[in-house]
Amino acid sequence: MKNASELLYGQTDTGKRLPDMYRALPVKLHQTREAFANCFRPIFLKYDLTDPQWRVLRILSAVDEIDTAALAKRSLLLGPSLSRILRDLQARKLIRRYTSKEDARRFFHAITPAGQQLIDKITPQFGPFYEQLSAHITEQEAATLNTLLDKVAAAVNASDM
């Protein structure tokens, strides 16, 4: 029986069969992302937030201001999705949007005091999750995993597919 990654990603163009560990990476990464999301999502739901909305708020809480293009890149969101998220967060008065003084076509975004208060209210609720995670994964393992994930992302981004 074929595993999920083999069904999804198959063999190379040359017909060379790669070790399963390489083909399993996309599936494992997706499973891990979903596991994290499943832990955080109930917290977000209490505050009527989605995962992507939270991501945008967290980015805005870490900068004074950011333009839309840079926010899209950092949040890993496509333009139409980001536009909808920004509109919704602005309507809730969690962020503000303003036009660049130099270029009227360029917009900047910043978190409002209400948005920062929401960040400050939600963030401590993640503590128990991270404490539980640290009981299973050492700091060194987490550091190694972060390094390896950066290496995988760089390799995938550098590929000329």
CATH topology for 20-136 is: Arc Repressor Mutant, subunit A (1.10.10)
H helices of 47-104, where?
51-61, 68-75, 79-91
pLDDT digits (tens, 9 = 90+) for 108-140: 999 999 999 999 999 999 999 999 999 999 999
The Cα–Cα gap between 119 and 125 comes to 10
Residue 8 has pLDDT above 60, yes or no: no
Angle at 111 between CA 77 and CA 113, to 5 degrees: 150
pLDDT digits (tens, 9 = 90+) for 31-71: 999 999 999 999 999 999 999 999 999 999 999 999 999 99
What pLDDT sits at residue 10? 52
Every domain of the chain and the residues it spans = 20-136
